[in-house]
């Protein structure tokens, strides 16, 4: 599945009605390749319809999907945007800061109220819509889980189950993983804790020891291993860590970075062993998703979808040649 110039030009099909697009299939060599959405589609429209269209256009049949596009499509007063928030020209006044806090609190209260009243049936219908288009929602990502009330955490796990997910993912302090692990055990669903590069921060997930401690709290506490962040922070291959804890990995974020907290790069131009990781997954028949997370700067003259298409093609080539 090499992307030629003609293929890349077909990315304009994203504007076509969904029924006109063929079902995708991105399980290659037994490895399910997906994408972190809508996060990877930086600055683009990010509704549930948009995400579905992008996935089909790119030929991707699996997702790590944030909860917000799903919830918003069903009437929740919530929104997640991939567009950067513009900085104000002047610092807000104390009065403006107070107004912003009040507005945020009111929104959070409305979202919580909606969530606690929500039926799971519409989420099951949403799942069918994506599956009919050939897309599996394998992981659902929730923001600010550590700020949720217990009953809202139950809602989050039930939502993920209703969408057909095998795991949820989140970014929370290490000290909250014992608490969340109790919910994971209750619901018998894995939680993948996402890592970054703060290896000296005991509350962050950067060094292997952070996940190792979290995993002692529950057999359902697991690893969302970002191989780009891992090599940038630890200056060593993530493969030995993968081999040791393969049964606790929920999914692997595929990106390329340089060591020593170096920059993100186009796939194949950094020091992250993407090819070796994908081939390990193929050889060992690991069941977890290889999730593209698009983060490098778009070159002049290109655009996000064209660059993601190159990432997809790179993964395909690593797995089947």
Q: Where are the domains of the chain?
A: 26-84+126-320
Residue 132 has pLDDT above 80, yes or no: yes
Tens digits of residue pLDDT in 233-269: 999 999 999 999 999 999 999 999 999 999 999 999 9
Residue 20 pLDDT > 70, yes or no?
no
What tokens appear for 169 in the block? 């993912």
The β-bridge partners of 27 are 32
Q: 184-209, pLDDT tens digit by residue? A: 999 999 999 998 999 999 899 999 99
Our CA dihedral for 158, 164, 169, 174, rounded to 10 degrees, sits at 50
Q: Judging by DSSP bridges, how do beta strands 62-66 and 136-141 pair with one another?
A: parallel
pLDDT for 41 equals: 98
Q: Compute the distance between CA of residue 70 and CA of residue 130 in angstroms, rounded to an integer.
A: 11
pLDDT at 15 over 70: no
14 pLDDT above the threshold of 80: no
Identify the residue whose tokens are 């340089």: 258
User: What does the mean pLDDT of the chain come to?
Assistant: 93
Judged by average pLDDT, the poorest of 20-24, 32-36, 128-132 is 20-24
- Kindly tell me if the per-residue pLDDT of 19 is higher than 90: no
Query: How confident is the model at residue 321, as a pLDDT?
Result: 75
- The pLDDT confidence band at residue 296, using thresholds 50, 70 and 90, is very high
Q: Give residue 21's pLDDT.
A: 57
Query: Which CATH number describes the domain made up of 26-84+126-320?
Result: 3.20.20.150
Residue 210 — pLDDT band, cuts 50, 70, 90? very high
* C-beta of residue 267 within 8 angstroms of C-beta of residue 259: no
Q: Is pLDDT above 90 for 88?
A: no
């Amino acid at each position: 599945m090499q992307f030629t110039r003609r293929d890349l030009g077909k990315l304009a099909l994203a504007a076509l009605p969904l029924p006109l697009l063929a079902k995708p299939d991105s399980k290659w060599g037994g490895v399910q390749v997906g994408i972190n959405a809508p996060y990877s589609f930086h600055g683009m429209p990010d509704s549930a319809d948009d995400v579905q269209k992008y996935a089909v256009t790119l030929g991707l049949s699996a997702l790590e999907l944030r909860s917000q596009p799903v919830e918003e499509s069903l009437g929740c007063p919530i929104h997640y945007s991939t567009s950067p928030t513009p900085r104000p020209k002047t610092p807000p006044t104390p009065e403006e800061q107070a107004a912003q806090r009040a507005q945020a609190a009111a929104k959070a209260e409305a979202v919580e109220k909606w969530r606690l009243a929500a039926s799971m049936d519409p989420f099951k219908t949403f799942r069918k819509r994506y599956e009919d288009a050939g897309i599996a929602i394998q992981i659902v990502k929730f923001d600010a889980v550590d700020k949720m009330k217990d009953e809202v955490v139950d809602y989050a796990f039930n939502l993920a189950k209703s969408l057909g997910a095998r795991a949820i993912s989140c970014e929370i302090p290490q000290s909250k993983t014992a608490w969340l692990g109790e919910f994971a055990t209750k619901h018998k669903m894995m939680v993948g804790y996402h890592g970054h590069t703060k290896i000296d921060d005991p509350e962050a997930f950067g060094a292997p020891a952070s996940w190792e401690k979290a995993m002692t709290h529950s057999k359902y506490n697991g690893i969302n291993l970002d191989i780009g962040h891992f090599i940038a922070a630890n200056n060593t291959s993530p493969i030995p860590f993968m081999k040791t804890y393969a049964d606790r990995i929920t999914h692997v974020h595929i990106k390329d970075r340089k060591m020593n907290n170096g920059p993100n790069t186009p796939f194949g131009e950094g020091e992250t062993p993407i090819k070796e990781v994908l081939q390990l997954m193929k050889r060992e028949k690991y069941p977890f998703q290889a999730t593209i997370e698009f983060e490098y700067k778009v070159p002049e003259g290109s655009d996000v979808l064209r660059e993601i298409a190159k990432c997809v093609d790179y993964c395909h080539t690593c797995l089947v040649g």
